């Protein structure tokens, strides 16, 4: 009886050492989060470009020229973002217009989110592992 009790206690103590018990990595895109878009395909994003995630994973924000909206879907370790819809206001700045076209085109190509190169940043990557969007903390208000 005493040996069975000691064996049970030892197994219980060892079970706490098993990987994947209760600790999980922090979600880089938690529901309800807001970010500034820092870069689009490695190029600096125009000031004011933003990316917000609602509690139900609806994505919205400010593209370089227009407001946009999309839907994020989580599947295992991956994510997908629906093609973005946007308002259609005139964008007279050619550089902002080109950045907006690139930004909206990247959304459906995103397959993963991970911690970015600096604290507080999130890298949204495609199937090749290339960082398509780099997000950072929103500007202080």
Q: Measured between alpha carbons, how far is 62 from 85 in angstroms, rounded to an integer?
A: 11
The pTM (predicted TM-score) of the whole model is 0.81
What pLDDT is stored for residue 2 in this prediction?
Answer: 53
Would residue 69 count as lying in a domain?
yes
What pLDDT is stored for residue 71 in this prediction?
Answer: 98
pLDDT along the chain (141 residues), means of 10: 47 43 68 97 97 97 97 95 93 95 97 96 98 94 67
Task: Give the chain's domain count.
Answer: 1
Q: Which residue has the tokens 């397959």?
A: 111
Would residue 11 count as lying in a domain?
no
Per residue in 83-92, pLDDT tens? 989 999 989 9
Query: Where in the sequence is the domain holding 88, given as residue range(s)?
Result: 27-136
Question: Apex CA 79: angle with CA 74 and CA 81, to 5°?
Answer: 100
Q: Closest Cα partner for 73 from 60, 56, 85, 86?
A: 56
Return the SS3 of 73: strand
What pLDDT is stored for residue 19 in this prediction?
Answer: 44
Would residue 21 count as lying in a domain?
no
What pLDDT is stored for residue 140 in this prediction?
Answer: 79
């Amino acid at each position: 009886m005493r040996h069975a009790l000691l064996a049970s206690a030892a197994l219980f103590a060892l079970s706490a050492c098993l990987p994947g018990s209760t600790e999980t990595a922090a979600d880089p895109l938690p529901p309800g989060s807001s970010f500034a878009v820092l870069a689009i395909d490695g190029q600096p994003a125009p000031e004011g470009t933003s990316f917000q995630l609602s509690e139900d994973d609806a994505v919205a924000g400010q593209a370089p020229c227009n407001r946009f909206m999309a839907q994020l879907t989580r599947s295992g370790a991956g994510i997908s973002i629906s093609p973005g819809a946007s308002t259609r206001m005139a964008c007279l700045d050619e550089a902002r217009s080109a950045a907006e076209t690139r930004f909206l085109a990247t959304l459906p190509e995103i397959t993963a989110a991970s911690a970015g190169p600096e604290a507080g940043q999130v890298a949204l990557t495609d199937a090749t592992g290339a960082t398509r969007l780099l997000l950072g903390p929103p500007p202080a208000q």
